[in-house]
Structures are given as structure tokens and as C-alpha cells.
Structure 1
Amino acid sequence: MKRPVLHPLAMAMLSALSAYSTNSAYAQAAPAAKAEQEVIVTANKVSQSALKVGASLSAVGADDLRELGVADAKALTDLIPNTQISQAGGSTVVVNIRGIDNTNTTPGGEPAAAFHIDGIYFGRMNAAGSAFFDIERVEVLRGPQGTLYGRNANAGVVNVITKAPNSVRGGYVSGELGNLGQMRFDGAYNLPVNDSLALRMAFSSNRRDGYSQTKTATNGFGENRDNVHTDSLRLQALAKFSPQTTLHLSYDFSANKGSGPNYYDLTSGVIPTRKLVDTTNSLEGKFNDQSYGWKAELKTDLGFANLTYIYGDRSFKQREDYSVSALALLADADVHQTSHELRLASRDNGPLQWVGGLFAYNEKTTNLVLDGVVPAPGPLTAAQCGGLPSCYGILRYTDGLLENDSKAVFGQITYSLDSQNRLIAGARTTSDRKLRSSGQQFFSSDGTFDPATGFITPLYGEGKWKSPTYRLGYERDLATNQMFYASVSTGFKAGGFNDGDTRTQPEFIYRPEKINSYEMGVNGKFLNNALQLTSSLFHYKYSEMQRTGIVNNSAVTVNTGRASVSGLEATARYRISPVGRVDLSLGLLDAKYSDFHTPNGADFSGRSMDKSPQFTLNLGYTHHWDLASGARLTGYVGTKYSSAYNLTDVGTATAAPIVFRQQSFTKSNLSIMYTSPSDAFDVQVYVKNLENTSQLMGTTSLAGTNYGYMSEPRTFGVRSTFRF
């Protein structure tokens, strides 16, 4: 007989109840275990304990990032329930939360989850992977955050908060060596100039050979695919003009010069394994991406409220040459975004608390050129063929200007009915506009792009949308450090348009997708403060889904169908003794299409949504040994279990999409770290993905063929940090 879906959850709950009955007596009879330090977050645009946030929030602090060796955003997948962060095509990072994903990662598409660094929204996810250094904490809000964050927070929000300048002089240098030629060096130095000014500089340089072996003795490639070659720098200044007013300035730069991800052919209909040698690529692959920007954050205490203004200015230069099998692809683009947020938050201790503000965002993509070089023997020279000996022709896609403009007004109030009960109401109105003014598709058989010998298709698009969102909530303090919450909220992802001319083909415009969310949970400290627990029970109504498919040999995104998403999440940190700690995150997910026809006509109603395992469990144990010298050892063992889940390609012009079934797996990590008596240095030895498992992380379509990208293999090494 088939086991019910809830069976693993029932086992986990029974285990938790057993642990509670055994350890609650111990907690009362024995001295209390060392209480865990609370992480202070700004998820609700105000500073508060992570346990006081009435939402599904996972906060990973600096100590955890250090002890667990979290070096990039993808590593958060092993720590946070119902969340998958992976590399997509090119340099793009894709965030999937509770099955809500993005199938259009082109410059015209939008991410499903909002990604912020130090309060600045990243409209393009290309630069998100290399910004992960000198981090204070990471906050992941699961579920739609349409009120305080707005557009493209349908799945949730990832907030990365870097370490800011402070009043303590000092710094650190960290080095890491590992297999696959891993060499990484990070560092930071903090300089308090005087009582009114502090400076901070941080850097990161990361090198690792590719785990997809694409270079051979005959093709002359210098690097394997899926390698890492990044350099990053961040400069910050914090000025205190008065006890009430501060100005925080920062500048950052990162460069990615790797060879790009390797793509695995999915035409066989089965999930491939990581190839020991892949000789199908016509080009080695060479990236030269640059991301840089600066922000200014002004804060002042007005007495009755705190005023915050944040300005961000970011640029991304994409220069990527790569290939999928024999097809060569050459991609160039320049992206520039500016953002403004003006926010006012009450500071009165009365029963009414409020926050409100204005937000404006503008993004311009210019000089966008995508060349697809057809590798068949032909009349073109090697210079015309992107380095190939010869080729038949070039398919060129260009955009002189692709503009994305968004404005919003938002507000949220919290009213305390009494000392225990609170009501929350919030709303936001967002106005979006997208414009493409000078796009073209062109096929050339001789490399000249002459209208007389080629075929030109003009591209024009314009769309406008207005999207209101809201949140209603209730919170009740069950005890001093315990709370219950319930909420109804909405979110949306911005609309867009497909390649064509929307003036004559308005059907090329697709609308924003929407989510209605219903959620409740319990957060707090239990067992004499030894246990920190957050939990949530949720249900979504997901409609106007934006899905991409192949129609008439072109990739198009359309609004189609509805889905229902329900689940349960729990994260727990239990200090079982003064030297031992257990961390657990549990995710149960039932995400299915209730009514869904793919753009090319296949009926997927009733199927599970992509990247939505029904059961995930992350379990880790950390142990500290105090040595006689005053030094200490910290050991960690952790494992992630994921049940099976689906991934779907976009199909072809003549075939329905193929649903791939990623089977269940475990992935375990081990580490042990020595820290000197004065905390001046530490040395850590680690192994990640002990089982050396391989998973299909996502799919993409290029030139009518579907490809996939695979997860990282086992890695191991040693890292050390010196503080001064």
C-alpha cells in the first residue's frame, strides 16, 4: 500500500514530542543550558528580534555563516526549508521558494523572489552570486511580501546585510584551499577615524576549477566549465553628524571571468549524470561580467519618527561567450538601475506603530546583443563565426533600449489591543511600465547583416500595469518570549512582453502573476530558553502564472492556469547542553497545478510544480570542546534529505514539455574548526556533499534544444582566518 504523504512529517513530530517529554524534565531539574543569542533583523523595515517577526523568516547570523562555511547564496539551500537557490543560464542566480519559480531569466523577465543587499533591490540576478562576502547576516522571508517590498516578492525576499563600519579598529584575512584547485582569499579592515567617522574595506578573490570537464588535449581549451573566477571589493563609510543623524555610503565592485556553466543535453528524456569528459562544446566559454554600484543611506531621528532615505545606483556589464554543444552564443548587455526609497517609521511607544514610504525604481538595458552562431560549414570566416573555423550564418538579437520603470507608495500599521494582542494592516500600490523601443531579430547567411541578404524582424513592446497588494495580520504574545501569528497577504510579479510588436500584436503582452497567501505560526523560546523555534502553516492561491514555452519555434511567456500550494515549515535550534546544539529545519510541501496548460498546449493540471519536494529535512549538530589551553574545537555534522521532485523543460515546437523526475537524495557536510585562545585565528577542515550526489538544478532552452545544469560534486578543503 502506498504510504501517505504526511508519513515523514508524522515521524518528525513524534520524535519532537518524544524529545520534549524527555528533555522538559531535564530542563526543569538541571541548570539551564546556555541560551542562544537572538538574531536582530530588519525584515519588517524596523530592527527587532527574528523571533518577534510574525512571518516565515529564517535568519542566518555571522557566527553561523563562519562555522558552516557558507560562501555563497547557493549554500543557503541546505539550511532553509522549502528554498532552493541555484545557478541558471549564464551568470544568473535563480531563487525558488515554496515552489514559486521564474522560467524567464532573460533581460525581459523578472525574478520570482526579491533579492536585496543592504536595502538595495537587485533587478537582475546576474551579480547576486559574487556579492557574498564580509556578511553580517542573511534574512530569508518566505511567502509573498507585497506590502513592504512590493514587486517581484511573490515567492519571498532574500536580504543580505553586510558588515557595516563600527568603532572598533581591526580586521581579518581568510584563506581557503581545496580540491578542484580551490583558492579563496577574503578580508576586511575597519578603521574608526574619529568619533564621527568610521571606514571599512572588504575584498574577496575566489578561484576554482570547473567540475564539468570540457577541456581536452585536442580542443585547446584552457579551463573547464562550471569553474569560479571572481574578484570583489567593497568600500564603506559611516558618518555621524549628530546623535540623531547618520549617513552610510558604500561602493562595491565585482568581476566574474569564469568559463560559465556547462549545459547537458536533455533530448534523451532522462536526467544526465555529470560527465567526466564533455567534448561537445564548440567554444571554451569566457565570461567578463562586471557589477558595480554605490548606495547612500541617510537616517535621522525626528523625535516622533525615524526618517530613512536610501539611494542606490548599480550597473552590470555582461560580456559572455559560450556554447551549447556545437552552437556558439555571444551575449553583450549593459544594465543600469537606480532606486529611491523614502521611509518614515514611528518611534512612539504607544499602542499605534506605523511605517510608510515611497519607492521608485528605474532600469535601462542598452547595447543588448545576442548572437547565435550556426556551426554548419559555410561561407563565413573564423572572425565572423566567434572563433569557429567556419559557419553557415548568425542569428542576431539586438535591443537598443529596454526600460523598466516602477513606482510605489506603501504603509503598514500595528495596533496593540492590549499588552498581548496586536492587529496589523498594510497596503501598497505599484505602477509598472516597460518599454522596448528599438529591438531587432536578424538572420544573416554571410555575416554582413544586410537586409538584402538576411531577414529582419522589428521588435517593439510597451506595457503598463497597476498592482495593489495588502496584508492583514494578528499577533498574540503567548508568553514573554513566545508568540502566535496569523496573516492574509498578497503579492505579485511584474508583467512583461514577448518578442514582436505589441502595437499590432497586443497578445504578446503578459500580465502580472498573483498570489493570495494564508498563514499562521508560532515563534519563540521554549524549554527554559534552550530551544528557539519558528513554525508556519500556509496555503496559497496562485494565479495568472507566467510560464515560458516554445510556440512556433520561439520562446514565449504567457499567463496560464492556477496552482494551489500548501505546506508546513519548522526551524529549531536546541541547545542540548552548554557545549552541544542541534539545528533542524523541516519542510512539508504540496504544490500542484490545479488548472494548467503549457504555452504549447500540454495539459499539466494535477501535476506537481517544479522544484517542490514534498518533504525536506535539514539536520545538523554542532559541538564545542574547550581545551586546557583556552582554545576550543568546534565540530559540525549536518545532512539534508530531499524527497523526489519534478523539473520540466519548455518543450519544442512539435513536442510537449518533458517532465524530469529528480529522485530523493541526501547531501551531508562535515567540518571541524580549531580556534586559538585569544580568537586571533582559526583553522577549519571541511567536506561538503559527502555522498557526491548529483541533481538536476534547472533547465533552459537554446536554439530549439533543451538543456539542464547540474549541482556541484563533493568538495573538501581547509580554510583559516587571522584577526588583527
Structure 2
Amino acid sequence: MIRSSASLLCCMLLASVSAPALASAAADQQPVDTTAAAEDAGLGTIVVTATKRETNLQETPISMAVMSTEALKDRHVSSLYDLADGAVPSLRIATFEARQSALTIGIRGIVPLDANQPAREQGVGIYVDGVYMGRQHGLNAALFDIERVEVLKGPQGTLFGRNTEGGALSIVSKAPTGEWGGRVEAGAGNYGGRTANAHINLPSIAGFSIKLDGVIQHQDATTRNPMAGQAGWNYYNRKGGRAAVRWQPTSTITNDFAYDVAKDENTPFYSQLLNFDPNHCVNGTQASQPNCKLPGTNYTDLTGGPVKPLLPGIVVNGDMRMGVADIGVPQQVSVDKTHGFTNTLKWEVSPEIELRSITAWRGVDATQWDNSGGAHRPPLVSPSVGSTAAGCTTASPCTFSRYSLADLRQRQFSQELQAVGTVGSIDYVVGGFYFNEHVSDDAATPSSMGAVAVRNSAGAITGFNYVTVPFCTASTPAFVGSAVNGCSIDRASEVWSKSYAAYGQITWNATDALHITVGGRYTHDDKKGVLHYSRNVNYDTTPPAPSVGYKPLDAKWNRFNPMATVAYDVSNGLHVYAKYATGYRAGGASSRTSNYQAFNPEDVKSYEVGLKSDFWNNRARFNLAGYIMDRKNSQVDISSIQFVGSSSFNNLVTINAPGITKIRGIEADLTVEPIDGLTLNASYAYTYTKIPPVLITATDSAGRRTDVYQNFYIVFTPRNAASGSIDYALPIGSGDTKLKFHFDGNYSQATQAFDQFATKNDSSLIFNGRISLADIGTGNGHSLTLSLWGRNLFNEQYVFRRDPSNSLPGAPTSNVTQGSIANVLGDYGNFNAPRTYGVEASIKF
């Protein structure tokens, strides 16, 4: 029934529009203040808090997008990852390769590739109810009752602080109302999808108002694992609860306390082998194999071949998403647990000043189990069919199927004090901020499968049987987490970070039309880190040799980030501004290197001009922004898989690219309401990025040296991206009942997925839709909404992450002039999620 309903949904949506217009997530908003919306004609007023005070979006001189509760529901956004389809063109979201609960989030070309390391920072700040989230782990947990999501574009270094070079993503939860009421929702979909959530407001008692939220989200695997009893891929099971208490002892004091807890069980997207030896690597001179070349190297010879043939049964498929893996492997779900509290106190001392205190403590505990590559990633099995070579016996199988295991434990405490107010023609914000974080992590990559050769009477191999092999059977220190317990440990590190900041911003309303804003923030960062293990060497008990060059991290950085904005109200419906802003991302060290190689902070300067306009009797809205960003000391990654015996190690060196990285862009948003009930939206983002070539120098123990200029790229940042939507609400009867249609399309040009490879993933064009019969009166002020939704309606299939590292020679080891092709296999990658659809019912009371 669900399948036929989805077909009906597609047909009805297509029939309801003459052409799928490109639309804006920035305009895919409904008014946050429904009372204001009712009073305003046309598109209404959207209230935001980007300047730490409530302002009209159109009069706020910041390029930003806002998605309301209704917009998120229309797109069936149940977690932040659902915005990865490009709902906001300049906002880019991707999952970490090994698990879905860790997200890579970028804005305007500021996109860190591997911020999953404890000593690595994000480039876009994530805030929930004003609280900074220190890690990108756990960000894909279920969203609770969200009032709106604000996407602030460009550096926000003054009011929001460090690690907001690209911007900030601010999630605002609905507060308790103090009146009895709520909403209960339930739904079902394909792939065993089911959802249930409840949001209850209790009546105010003695100045206390309470709101309770609970969420359950489940989806079965979309790629099945043939091994019995093992999880498949792209599976999730999320549960969470939140309790919020608002205390208002007087008319001038409001205290909001909230506690939340969530658990996200998930598996990564399946990693398919997209091709086999696409560069035709063979032993010989590098010059004779121009395509078989690892960036940043200057090999004279290629050795280690020939390229090993594929094991029998391995499927090469670069055209479509696999519904069933070719070889079953052990696969356990990864688990992210998040919990924490926030207390926000606001005291209106006088009409000129409001004092605020935001206190928060949060924790994340994550375990990672990633076997999504199976036989599609090294290590490789040596003997091939027809060979009479020894090995791959029952007693000693040839091992493969790299199981990427990891643990992370993070705790953070933050305290922010603010004074916000207006004195005469001056609006001001001043504040102080303290942040304290402790993070530890570890990782291991054992092989989990073995190939046992089947031989004929002559001893030649005629095939292979695949068996599981024991792994992680040793004993490990107590500090190592549950996922890697008993393993040969690739790495284990621990980091302590403290950040102190003081900031201020004033806006002089020189006239009714002219507004001049200046501000600045001083930040002091103190970061210490140690590498406990590297390549199964315990650095605590067996310090590495001086030649390794290991050095614990002990660094301090100070920054002052100024900003200035001139805004002019040309008319009530036309506002222009020019803005200068700066930001910085703290430095750190890579726990994926044996020497714990450190890197420095990076800094951004941004120059932006913008226009915001309402016209056609407030039935049309057009916003335009253009910017130039210059980033100094860009943090770029050089990643390689190093092989030690039958195991492999993901070595990742982070360096600061010299020179200035150029980021240039244009963003345009258009919203039109040609007739009552019909809203058309369009949004477009153009982003140009260029990192200057970096001189890579390598020297081996024999004194041989190579110098190569290498190009690096900014990942997950399309040159052109666009989004569009059509919304139509048709009143039914004399009550509030409406038949609502929503249809959106989202386009992204192909992008790089890794810093050092020019190889790109695929372009994408994703359509989503929803039909609902909303606000059906059921008596006593209650109402019922029934909806039918679909994501990726036309089942678009594209590779969103393509990794060419396993189709190229290995990284230089003992001889920097020779590259080994012993582990060349092919490009592997991840396809996007398939079409999902379902039905939902919501009761409001």
C-alpha cells in the first residue's frame, strides 16, 4: 500500500506544477512568529536571533537562510543529514565515511575533511539553543521539537567565536508555553521505516512551565549483508528525550533549563568497488604509466606488481547502488550516545540592559564499527585462481575485510555571559565566554575475513571459500574503549582544550536609515594533547625513538577578530549593506601520524556586499550577496593507507598550505507568492575556490629527495548549486482544514571528496515531496494532519564520495623514488540513499 501511495504522490506532485522551479531554503521558511505573519500581508516577517537579539530577517545585515518547523516537516528532515541533499545551496553536509552520526558540515567553501580527530576543529560552528557543540560526533542524532534552523553565512568570529570561519548553524528549540497542549505523531515507511514522537506542554504552576519531547526514528538497512545475524548498511535506530523547564518568578526574569539524552545506532553507507585498476598500473618506469601516479610524488619506478586479480564473487559496480553486498562480513552497529544540560538565565534589569547567562555541560560517547568496504578495500589476498602458490589454507587463511573500529569520549563545559541592550541610538552586545573540553579516542583496523583456497588434484586453486577469522583477541589497557578492546591499536590520543574570549559589538543607528556596526572578539586558546598509542606501540610505557620525532601537543594561540558593517535602508522594502568580517580556526595535531604532527591555526578575512528587498506589495522577496574570502594557512590533509604486514594504517598528515586560499561567491534567493496559498522559492549559490599549489618534499634514509608541487582542493563544495520548491495550500470547507502540496528540487555540481585528489564525485539532482491534509478539526480544539511524503522521489543514484587512493601507487616508504602497486585495487565510493517514502499522522491538542 505504501508503494502505491508513493506512486500516487509523485503523480499528484507532478500534476500540481508546470515546471519544477528552483527554490531557496532561505525562503523555504514560514514565519517564525505566526501572529506577525497573520498581521503582515504577503510573505510576512521572519524573526531571527543572529545578532543575539530578535530582529527582522530582512533588516539584519547578514547573509543567512532560515528553515522553520513547517519547512523542515515538508522536506521530511528528521536529522541534520537530511539537509545533505542541498536544501540550502551554500550549506554542505556529508557523513563521516565510517559512520553516519558524525557529520562534516561546511558553508561557503570552509569544509574540514577529517574533524573527527580530538585535536582537530570544525570550520563551521554548530549551536543548539546558544550552546557551541565542540565535536561533530553525535550531530546526526534525531532532532527534537525545532522552532527554526538559522544558517549564518560567512565568518561569525565576533559574536559566535573561533571555528566559525565559514559561518554558524544555529538550531533553536521550541520553549515551554505554560499552557496545556501538544502534538503526537507517528508514521511508517519503506525499508521498515517507523517514527514516533510526542511533544507535551504542561500548564504553568507557580511560575514553572514544563515541556517534554520524545523521539523515535528507525530505518532498516538499504544494502543487505549476506552474512546471517550481521547488520546491513545505511541502517539507523534513534531514540531521544528532552525535558525543558521555564521559570518566570517575575516579569523581568526568565530561566530556561533543559536536559536531553539521545542514542543513535547506525551503520555507514556501503562502500562499493566502482572500477578495477582504472589506471592500468604495471611494474616499470613511472614515465611509461602516466595515469598510475600518486599526487605529491615523483617516482621513477613502479614496483610490487602485477596488480592482484579480484577474488571470485567480487562485484565491480560504478553505475548503481547495490541492494545486497557481494560478500557477507561481520558488521555491528555503531553507537553514539549524547547527553547534557543547558541553563539560560535572562534578567531584564532595565529597559536599557538585559543580562544573560548560558551554562552548559555536554557529553558524547561513540563506538564505531565499520566493515562497509568488505573485499573492496585493501588488504588484498595474494594467490589467485589457477595459481599453485602455497597459502590461504584452513589453518592460515589469507585475511582481508578491514574492520575499522574506533571509540571516542568527549566532555565539554561552557559558560557565556552577555549584556544586551539599547541606549539611545546605540544597540550593543558585550560578553565573555569560557569553554573547557576533554576528548579521548582510539582506533584499530583488524581484518575480519579469511579466504581459504579450494584446489584441484594438481594443487591449482580453483576457487575460494570465505570464512570469518578471530580478531581483537589480545589484552589491552583499561583506557582503550570497547570497540577496540583486544585489538592491535592503530592510534589512541587524548586532548584537553580551553578557550577564553571577550567580545563586544555596537550598532550606531545614525539615522532612521543608516546603521553602522563595529565589533571585535579576543580569544585565547590553550590546547594540550598526547598520543598514547601509534601503530600498536604504547608511547606511555615505550617512548618512541627520537627519529620518530614525536612531540606532545602544547600550544597556545591568541586572536583578535574584528568586524564592521555599514547598512542602509533605501526604503521600507529595500536594504543594502557592506560588511568586513574575520574568523579563525584553532590549530592542533594529527593523531593519525606516528609523530603527532602539529599544525597551526588558519585565518579568514571576508568582504561582503548584500541586498535584501521586499516588493510587489510584499508578495515577492529577493536577497543577493556577493563575497570575497581570503584564507591564510589553510589546513589541508594528505591521506594514505600504509601497510604493515597483514594490517593497514590510515596515515593522515595535516599541513598548513602557504599563500592565500581564494574563496569567491554569489548567493541569490527569491521568494514569490503570486496568489494566496501559492509560494514559489528559488535559491542559487556560486562558489569558486583555489588553494595555491603546495611544495611537497620527501626524503628517505638514503638521502634521496623529491620535490613536487601538489594541488589541493576544498571538498564537498560545488561550483554551482541550486534549490527550489513549490508550496500550495488549498482551503477545504469553512474551517482551518487545508490540502497542502510541497515539491522541492536540489542540484549540486560534482565536487572533490578528498583534499589531495582531483577526482570528483557525481553531480546530483534530488527531488522531495509531501502531500498533507492538514488541520482537520476533531472537536475540543484538537486537529488531525495526515501526510504522505517522499525523499529522492525519482530514486536518483549518484556517488557522493569517491576515493581513488586504492587505485594508485602507495605512499613513499623506504625509497621515495619507488612506488608500490602491490595494493592497487580500484576506486571505491558511496552512493546516496535510495528513495524513501511513507505516511504520517499528527494530532495536535
Which TM-score applies when normalising by structure 2? 0.74
Corresponding position of 2:726: 621
**Aligned runs of 1:501-520 on 2, under 5 Å?**
508-520=597-609
Aligned match for 1:330, one of 405, 422, 432: 405
How far off its partner does 1:603 sit? 4.0
Note the 1:569-584 alignment, pairs <5 A. 569-584=667-682
Once the two structures are superposed, the pairs formed by residues 159-170 of structure 1 within 5 Å of their partners are: 159-170=170-181
Offset, 1:265: 4.9
Query: Could you say if the C-alpha distance between residues 528 and 278 of structure 1 is closer, same or farther in structure 2, counting changes exceeding 3 Å?
Result: same
Q: Which residue of 2 aligns with 1:476?
A: 568
CA positional deviation for 1:131: 4.2
Pick closer, same or farther for the CA change 1:596–1:609 going to 2, 3 Å: farther
Match of 2:300 in 1: none
Contact 2:715 2:754 in 1 (8 A): no
- 1:321 and 2:398 matched: no
What is the distance in 1 between the residues matched to 2:510 and 2:720?
38
Counterpart selection for 2:110 from 96, 100, 103: 100
Q: Check 1:129–1:418 CA distance in 2 against 1; reply closer, same or farther (3 A cut).
A: same
Alignment of 1:253-332 (within 5 A): 253-265=261-273, 268=276, 273-280=320-327, 282-303=329-350, 304-323=352-371, 324-325=373-374, 326-332=401-407
Offset of 1:641 from its aligned partner? Answer: 2.3
- The partner residue of 1:694 within 797, 811, 819 is 797
Q: Which residue of 1 aligns with 2:430?
A: 356
Partner secondary structure for residue 537 of structure 1? strand
State the 1:509 CA deviation.
2.1
CA gap 1:614/1:296 in 2 versus in 1, 3 angstroms: same
Secondary structure of the structure 1 residue equivalent to 2:329:
coil
Partner of 1:714: 835
1:376: how far off?
Answer: 7.7
- Please name the residue that 2:31 is paired with: none
Q: Which residue of 2 aligns with 1:433?
A: 526
Matched, 1:540 2:629: yes
1:564 aligns with 2:658: no
The 1:286–1:205 alpha-carbon spacing in structure 2 relative to 1, beyond 3 Å, is same
Measured in 2, the distance between the counterparts of 1:154 and 1:264 equals: 34
User: In 1, distance between residues paired with 2:168 and 2:134?
Assistant: 13
Q: Give the superposition deviation at 1:708.
A: 3.9
> Does the CA contact (< 8 Å) of 1:441 and 1:459 recur in 2?
no
The structure 1 residue matched to 2:258, chosen from 224, 247, 250, is 250
The answer to whether 1:55 aligns with 2:62 is yes
Shift of residue 282, structure 1, vs aligned partner:
3.5
Report what 1:220 is aligned to: 228
For 2:568 and 2:83, the matched residues in 1 are separated by 30
* Structure 1 pair 599–423 and aligned structure 2 pair: CA distance change class (3 A): farther
| CA shift digits 1:248-277 (9 cap, x unpaired) | 000000001223443345785886742232
Three-state SS of the structure 2 residue aligned to 1:64 is: helix
1:472-531 deviation line (CA, Å, top 9, x unaligned): 1100011124311110111111100134999xx7x9321111111111111132111111
> Which residue does 1:184 correspond to in 2?
195
Q: Distance in 2 between matches of 1:720 and 1:563?
A: 49
Structure showing greater Rg? 2
Match among 229, 239, 243 for residue 235 of structure 1: 243
CA drift at 1:593: 2.5
Distance between the aligned counterparts of 2:121 and 2:327, measured in 1? Answer: 31
Residues 763, 798 of structure 2: 8 Å contact kept: no
> Does 106-115 or 156-165 show the bigger shift?
106-115
Q: Which amino acid aligns with 1:664?
A: S
Residue 395 in structure 1 maps to residue 489 in structure 2: yes
Measured after TM superposition, the shift of residue 627 of structure 1 is 1.4
Residue 493 of structure 1 corresponds to 585
What percentage of residue pairs aligned between the two structures are identical? 22
Change (3 A) 1:207 1:475: same
State the Cα distance separating 1:54 from its structure 2 match: 0.5
Residue 598 and residue 212 in structure 1: after superposition, are their counterparts in 2 closer, same or farther (change >3 A)? farther
Kindly indicate whether the alpha-carbon contact (under 8 Å) linking 2:112 and 2:123 is maintained by their aligned counterparts in 1. Answer: yes
Does structure 1 retain, via aligned residues, the 8 Å contact 2:716–2:753?
no
Q: Deviations over 1:136-159 (max 9, x none)?
A: 000000111111111110111000
Specify the alignment match of 1:416 in structure 2: 509
Greater shift, 429-438 or 260-269, is seen at 260-269
- Aligned partners of 1:615, 1:720: CA distance in 2, in Å? 37
In 2, Cα distance between the equivalents of 1:626 and 1:501?
62
* 8 Å CA contact 1:118, 1:162 repeated in 2: yes
Deviates more, 1:551-560 or 1:128-137: 551-560
Which deviates further from its counterpart, 64-73 or 124-133? Answer: 64-73
Q: 1:596 to 1:681 in 2, by over 3 A?
A: farther
CA distance in 2, matches of 1:330, 1:661: 27
Are 1:661 and 2:760 matched, yes or no?
yes
Structure 2 residues not aligned, in runs of 5+: 1-18, 24-38, 279-317, 375-400, 452-467, 476-485, 643-650, 699-706, 812-822
Report the residue type matching 1:160 in the other structure.
I
- Structure 1: stretches of 5+ with no match in the other structure: 1-11, 17-31, 387-391, 651-656
Distance (whole Å) between structure 2 residues aligned to residue 33 and residue 308 of structure 1: 31
CA contact (8 A) 1:181 1:208 kept: yes
Could you tell me whether the CA contact under 8 Å between 2:243 and 2:258 is conserved in 1? yes
**Aligned AA (1:80):** V
Task: Provide the secondary structure at the position in 2 that maps to 1:66.
Answer: helix
Closer/same/farther in 2, CA of residues 707 and 237 from structure 1, 3 Å limit: farther
